[in-house]
Structure 1
Amino acid sequence: MTSIFRLAMGQDFDRLHPQLRRRFSVGLESGEACIGRGVMDRIWHGLPFVKPFLALGGRRNVLVPRTGRHIPFTIENVPYTDSFGRETVTFVRTFALPGGTRRFDATMIHSPERSCVLDYLGTHQHLASDLWLSAEPDGSLLIRSGEHRFREGPFDLRVPEVLGGDAEVRESFDEMTGRFRIRVAVTNRRFGPLFGYEGTFRAHYVDARRHGVRAGLRPVREEARA
Structure 2
Amino acid sequence: MTTTSIFRTVLGADFERLHPQLQRRFSVGLASGEACTGRGVMDRIWHGRAFVKPFLALGATRNILVPRPGRQVPFVIENVPYTDGFGRETVTFVRTFDLPGRPRRFDAQMVLGPKGDRILDYLGTHQHLASDLHLRAEPDGSLLIRSGEHRFREGVVDVRVPELIGATAEVRESFDDAAGLFRIRVRVVNRYFGPLFGYEGSFEASYTDVRACGVRPGLRPVREEARA
Q: TM-score, normalised by structure 1?
A: 0.99
Q: Which residue of 2 aligns with 1:188?
A: 190
Q: Which amino acid aligns with 1:76?
A: E
The 5 A counterparts of 1:1-226 are 1-113=3-115, 115-226=117-228
| Cα deviation digits, residues 166-195 of structure 1 (max 9, x gap) | 100000000011100000000000000000
Q: Which amino acid aligns with 1:140?
A: S
Which consecutive aligned stretches of 4+ in structure 1 deviate over 4 angstroms post-superposition? none
C-alpha root-mean-square deviation of aligned residues, in Å?
A: 0.8
* CA distance in 2: counterparts of 1:154 and 1:69, whole angstroms: 41
SS at match of 1:97: coil
Q: Report the alpha carbon displacement of residue 114 of structure 1 after superposing the two structures with TM.
A: 7.3
Is 2:77–2:95's contact at 8 Å kept on the other side of the alignment?
Answer: yes
SS at match of 2:203: strand
Q: TM-score, normalised by structure 2?
A: 0.98
Q: Report the alpha carbon displacement of residue 112 of structure 1 after superposing the two structures with TM.
A: 2.6
Where structure 1 has 5 or more consecutive residues not aligned to the other structure, the ranges are none
Identity %: 76
* CA distance in 1: counterparts of 2:80 and 2:206, whole angstroms: 12
SS at match of 1:210: helix
Q: Give the length in aligned residue pairs.
A: 226
| Cα deviation digits, residues 95-140 of structure 1 (max 9, x gap) | 0001110000000001034721000000000000110000000000
Where structure 2 has 5 or more consecutive residues not aligned to the other structure, the ranges are none
* CA distance in 1: counterparts of 2:153 and 2:197, whole angstroms: 22
